[in-house]
Structure 1
């Protein structure tokens, strides 16, 4: 069923670097603002107070549900970023190829159902940054339902502005939107669950998918096939920003890919390359692009390649278009045997790891990266609007 066409959400601007945790307060921010965005709750080692009404929010990117929603959705995503109209129209065609419906929405619904089925004994909500159900509306729904504290599961496993910091900002914006209504209910406090790129279940799910993809190749090509990990390219300036302990987007991806490959073929080499870049050519982004890399692989005399999109948690449109369509087509033109591994999706081991992350925080486990980041963590100056990309998810 197609949702009604919805307008862009009203802006609730936040100061640069605002966080949902007081540890994230910038020196030039008033303490009351950081406390307002977080409700005064600092993630710590103490278990949650008995009787507090808690919930889990699965926070995603969002996607259109029909042809008529595609361009409004893309305009919503890219507002203020100066993306040329022709670029939006080009990406829109990817959605129209699939009847204007992004698979990411059903995938997030399936994840919510899997979490409930795996023993999460809290109400589980789903909200998005860029399309219905918007996080602001879901935050109000939780408040109306009497939720006092929300654990936020972002549908990204890694560091970076877009992959982590912006989810903190989404929650802070939702709180500001709710609290700006004098007649509205009091919203819940919140904390984001930590990064899970190295969680046992995430690694196992990707390893199982990589093994299955290798098995698709002819037996004589499997041992020599080039293993290629992919993730969404981001601007170099964003990628260069390091979080605590030197964590960066690229380092976490390298670590995750290494763990996945070692689970299947210990010590075997792999390449980490990028996909789905956008933005003006004058702005450098992480390279090489997967299609360019396939050409390099072919020129080196390789015969087969297995691509595993470890940078994504589900087979959304960027995966099925950029890899199953464009990359596979490139491989075919080059005479390369090609197999693409699946993503974690609702693999039982992955879902169990997410349940474990939630249990860890509810029990008062020590906060880890992604939960209580400082405000300058993964922060990028945004003189011409927020950094980001044109998605196809």
Structure 2
């Protein structure tokens, strides 16, 4: 049997503040960014100390490998990053050097936007050569993914009930994407340039569906909303509604406590530790809303089982 492996793909994060300019050039594919944007990102990293994305993703990979071994599968798990070390290209080359012939490739962004997840896929394909790959494009409706988020949400609701005597309403979020990229994709496939609409890119619908699946598993939620967070600073419109405008509307309904749960991120990083824990919390406080969040999935065993299941299905397809 050919040597098989699993490759997990993630965004990547710089190791030091000094590396942020180079990292940001990777994020925007070499396009110039205003200096004030670079300085703002540096400020955010300084406030959170560091982003643990890489080390958590490597830990997730070890958990997935342990799951596969426990089920009798001999498949090493590799981790590659699109925007920082270990770069996807370097990891794929190492896999080939290690003699890997077949690989299940999973992007750790469950909701598929062809303009973002597609970049990960192309980065793998560019170095794959004779390596046979099965790429999981999206897994927004994976039941174990919803289970993992629901576990974290139920734990947070338990804390809120103990403190306030009642469960809190929930604001689910996912990372925004530029309107222009979605519209360009829609136009390419003959769809109208509308957002949100029923166009070519499935991202918004998939993100909202993940939120629905999590909410179904936590029926004590009195009410929930959905918003897109972390709109970019590189110019042009990004899809919404934004978290800020949604919180403003929620405040108008008299809500005083809310749980904000990102359902597009699988671990702590700057969009959690700064955007949620600092910026959104401060914005909510000005509206006299107490904002808390469930713990991130990080090294959730349920998440590891979800990814291991995707890997097994991918490896099985390579045998067909």
TM-score (norm 1): 0.71
Q: Conserved in 2, the CA contact under 8 Å of 1:214 and 1:222?
A: no
**Counterpart check, 1:232 vs 2:170:** no
Aligned 8 A contact 2:168 2:222 in 1: no
CA distance in 2 between partners of 1:61 and 1:323 (Å): 18
Query: Is the partner of 1:272 in helix, strand or coil?
Result: strand
Contiguous gaps of at least 5 residues in structure 1: 1-50, 176-185, 368-393
Residue in 1 aligned with 2:285? 332
Say whether 1:253 aligns with 2:207. yes
When Rg is computed on C-alpha atoms for both structures, the one with the higher figure is 1
Query: What's the CA shift string for 1:36-89, capped at 9, x where partnerless?
Result: xxxxxxxxxxxxxxx111111111111111232222212222244343221122
Q: Name the residue aligned to 2:66.
A: 117
Residue aligning to 1:140 = 93
Structure number with higher helix proportion: 2
Question: How big is the shift at 1:269?
Answer: 3.8
Q: Distance in 2 between matches of 1:197 and 1:116?
A: 22
For 1:174 and 1:322, locate their aligned partners in 2 and report how far apart those are by CA, in whole Å: 34
1:133-212 aligned within 5 A: 133-175=86-128, 187-212=130-155
Paired with 2:83 and 2:144, the residues of 1 have a C-alpha distance of: 28
> What is the SS of the residue equivalent to 1:229?
strand
Alignment partner of 1:97: what SS?
helix
Q: Secondary structure at the match of 2:59?
A: helix
SS in 1 for 2:79: strand
2:195 corresponds to: none
1:76 to 7, 15, 26: 26
Per the alignment, do residues 117 and 222 of structure 1 end up closer, same or farther by CA in structure 2, a change over 3 Å counting?
farther
Which 5+ residue runs of structure 2 have no aligned equivalent?
Answer: 190-197
CA 1:206–1:163 in structure 2 vs 1: closer, same or farther (change >3 Å)? farther
Cα shift readout 1:154-176 (whole Å, capped 9, x = no counterpart): 1110111344211111112234x
Name the count of aligned residue pairs.
305
For residue 300 of structure 1, report the CA deviation from its aligned partner. 2.2
Contact 2:101/2:132, CA 8 A, preserved across alignment = yes
2-side partners of 1:187 and 1:142: how far apart?
11
- After superposition, the CA RMSD in angstroms is 2.6
SS in structure 2 at match of 1:197: coil
Paired residue secondary structure (2:232): coil
**Deviation string for 1:258-313 (max 9, x for gaps)?**
110110117854211011111455x2211222122212211221121111101111
